[in-house]
Amino acid sequence: MRIIKPFAILTPQTIIQDKAVAFDKKIEAIDTVENLIKKYPNAAVEHDENALLLPGFANPHLHLEFSANKATLQYGDFIPWLYSVIRHREDLLPLCDGACLEQTLWSIIQTGTTAIGAISSYGEDLQACVDSALKVVYFNEVIGSNAATADVMYASFLERFHQSKKHENERFKAAVAIHSPYSVHYILAKRALDIAKKYGSLVSVHFMESRAERKWLDKGSGEFAKFFKEFLNQTRPVNDTKSFLELFKELHTLFVHMVWANEEEIQTIASYNAHIIHCPISNRLLGNGVLNLEKIKSIPYAIATDGLSSNYSLNMYEELKAALFVHPYKEATTFAKELIIRATKAGYDALGFEGGEIAVGKDADMQLIDLPEGLTNVEDLYLHTILHTKKPKKVYIQGVEYV
């Protein structure tokens, strides 16, 4: 048993002062430090009046397999970026070997994240995710818009899914990812989602990320028309969005990006068991615009970094800073509180893990950070935590200290 007495606790919904947290694997009690010492006389006690205690972050959408990318891929617009991924992926993927993946996962923990959603296209990151101290939802991704190759792509997906199922425990879950409505044939998507239904698996899907996707799916035109003709000799979309969305009706799904979703699609998704995953830096770097948070307010959303194929960092503090600035019409102090909730409790809810809150009975997935220097207004803690924190000084996952 351990007891931590910080300057304040961000639960994250409220700020608690003059209290301490007693924890082992789970949070056992929140009370004055004197009362907790009486209750747990053998506990190790840490006083840190220059620190804040808050939940660990959940990063529900990232692609580890491209973690070797620094400046190889082309940013600025979605289609040139996509061409650069195709052009360089055979070079980039082997560069992120086991050591690279291990270091990437460790850097995620060091920056305060305690749970992730890892989108895996090839399964090369499976063992690294299994071995990590992180809580991981491992999304086995299916892609393929050509009906002639559907059986092959499905077989590959199924093998990877069942391989990941073998490793399931309370900290590792196998899940299903459908790449997108423009890149996965309806039949292939349906077969993969039938597996998700059979096993009660969480699902992730990129949806309406770019203007190019919107034009292609609506009218079969725009920049994707050239792309699909050149690479796959396809002249029309393989899905209409209405039929595609109906596939997710009975599933818990994370709809990633949603920048170009229309009102009808938003209303449909709002009627599902769904979360939106907002990746502001990735959206900015690929020229996709900014998610309209007012339009999607009927759907819970969480914050994620996406992968290093479309971001310079997997540090959620960097993502929160970006989110704060790309939504300029949100009042800064109240929006900062919302963002920290979205990065903790909402992310944990999206992934289905226990945690994301400093509350009795929750897993002790927490981070201890430096108190912003010179703080005069306690209510500003949320904002200054985002502005001034680069990484925590301690991270706990199920009560075990990793940093």
Residue 148 is encoded by which pair of tokens? 């002639």
Q: Can 209 be counted among the known catalytic residues?
A: yes
Which among 366, 368, 358 has a CA at the least distance from the CA of 389? 368
Q: What is the DSSP string of 367-395?
A: EEEEPPTT---GGGHHHHHHHH-SS-SEE
Task: Give the CA-trace dihedral at 16, 376, 326, 63, to 10 degrees.
Answer: -50
Torsion sign, CA atoms 334, 337, 343, 344: negative
In angstroms, what CA-CA distances link 46 with 31, 55, 205? 14, 17, 43
Which among 104, 271, 288, 99 has a CA at the least distance from the CA of 207? 288
Task: Exactly one of 28, 65, 141, 209 is catalytic; name it.
Answer: 209
Torsion sign, CA atoms 118, 398, 111, 378: positive
Residue 370 is encoded by which pair of tokens? 């430096």
Residue 22 is encoded by which pair of tokens? 């007693």
Q: What is the spatial distance between Cα 119 and Cα 128, in angstroms, rounded to a whole number?
A: 13
CB 368 within 8 A of CB 6: yes
Ranges assigned E (strand) in 196-336 = 203-207, 252-257, 273-278, 301-303
Q: What is the spatial distance between Cα 343 and Cα 58, in angstroms, rounded to a whole number?
A: 6
CA atoms within 13 A on the CB side of 191: 19
Region of residue 226 (phi > 0: left; psi between -120 and 50: alpha; otherwise: beta): alpha
Q: Which residues are catalytic?
A: 209
